[in-house]
């Protein structure tokens, strides 16, 4: 048995927020920009007897501070009796200097809300069989989508402390069932970007992040 890993670097899109002056921005909790990372493609089948992993990785520009807003992914199942048995998490690594002690890591879980619907359209408890009361939502006969979301919104400010080398992000999907079929995926993550000077502003660092 072999673990077959697919690595993906999402495309970046930056949308500047230009509605206020620089002085107003510095004194407020208004973000400088929205930074989005997205990707779509195929998660290839691992082959007979093998497991697979799918990892999305990217680096944030360390000249700014960030707040993670959303992270989602959808997997499209498009053949008879295909299911998906996977778990996922997001890791954010802040490297503030040389040595292992300077590396800080944040972890956020990702999950799927059960759809409670089978391929015949049954939704009532008692009508849906145990093997279909799961996270597969049929869009047609044995065709469906699983959508992973981050149930708890993080409030941590990803801040470039002095001497920082990088801020790295990874979202890891692992499937523990072997020999699964290929799946189409859609991935999306969104951050708010702040000036470094705003990191000292209460509105940015407060328990309720300005969103």
Per-residue pLDDT, 207 = 59
Q: Hey, which residues does 138 pair with through a beta bridge? A: 144
- List C-alpha distances in Å: 56 to 7, 38, 72, 132, 168: 6, 10, 12, 29, 11
Average pLDDT over residues 136-141: 58
Share of the chain above pLDDT 90, in %: 25
Residue 203 — φ and ψ, nearest 5°?
A: -65, -30
Phi, psi angle pair for 40, to nearest 5°: -145, 155
Mean per-residue pLDDT, 27-38: 88
Across the beta sheet with 86-95, what order do the strands follow?
Answer: 3-8, 51-60, 166-175, 86-95, 103-110
pLDDT for residue 112 is more than 90: no
What is the structure's pLDDT at 117? 67
Instruction: Find the mean pLDDT for residues 122-131.
Output: 68
Structure tokens at 4: 């077959």
What would the pLDDT profile of 38-55 be if each residue is shown by its tens digit?
A: 999 999 988 888 889 999
* This prediction's pTM: 0.83
Nearest to 53 by CA among 11, 91, 9, 88: 88
Task: Tell me the HSE value of 36 on the side-chain side, using a 13 A CA sphere.
Answer: 10
Within the chain, strands assigned E span 3-8, 11-16, 33-43, 51-60, 65-77, 86-95, 103-110, 137-140, 143-149, 166-175, 183-194
Residue ranges per domain, the chain?
3-205
- Is residue 173 predicted with pLDDT exceeding 70? yes
């Amino acid at each position: 048995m072999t673990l077959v890993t697919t690595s993906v670097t999402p495309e970046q899109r930056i949308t500047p927020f230009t509605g206020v002056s620089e002085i107003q921005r510095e004194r407020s909790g208004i973000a400088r920009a929205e930074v989005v990372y997205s990707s779509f493609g195929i998660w290839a089948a691992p082959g007979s007897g093998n497991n697979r992993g799918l990892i999305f990785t990217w680096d944030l520009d360390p000249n700014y501070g960030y707040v993670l807003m959303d992270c989602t992914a959808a997997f499209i199942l498009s053949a008879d009796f295909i299911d998906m048995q996977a778990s996922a998490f997001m890791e954010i690594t802040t490297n503030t200097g040389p040595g292992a002690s300077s590396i800080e890591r944040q972890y956020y879980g990702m999950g799927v809300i059960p759809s409670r619907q089978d391929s015949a359209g049954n939704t009532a408890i008692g009508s849906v069989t145990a093997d279909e009361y799961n996270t597969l939502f049929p869009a047609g006969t044995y065709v469906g989508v699983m959508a992973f979301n981050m149930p708890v919104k993080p409030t941590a400010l990803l801040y470039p402390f002095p001497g920082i080398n990088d801020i790295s992000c990874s979202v890891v999907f692992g499937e523990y069932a072997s020999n699964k079929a290929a799946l189409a995926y859609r991935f999306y993550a969104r951050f708010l970007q702040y000036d470094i000077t705003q990191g000292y502003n209460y509105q940015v660092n407060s328990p309720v992040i300005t969103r």
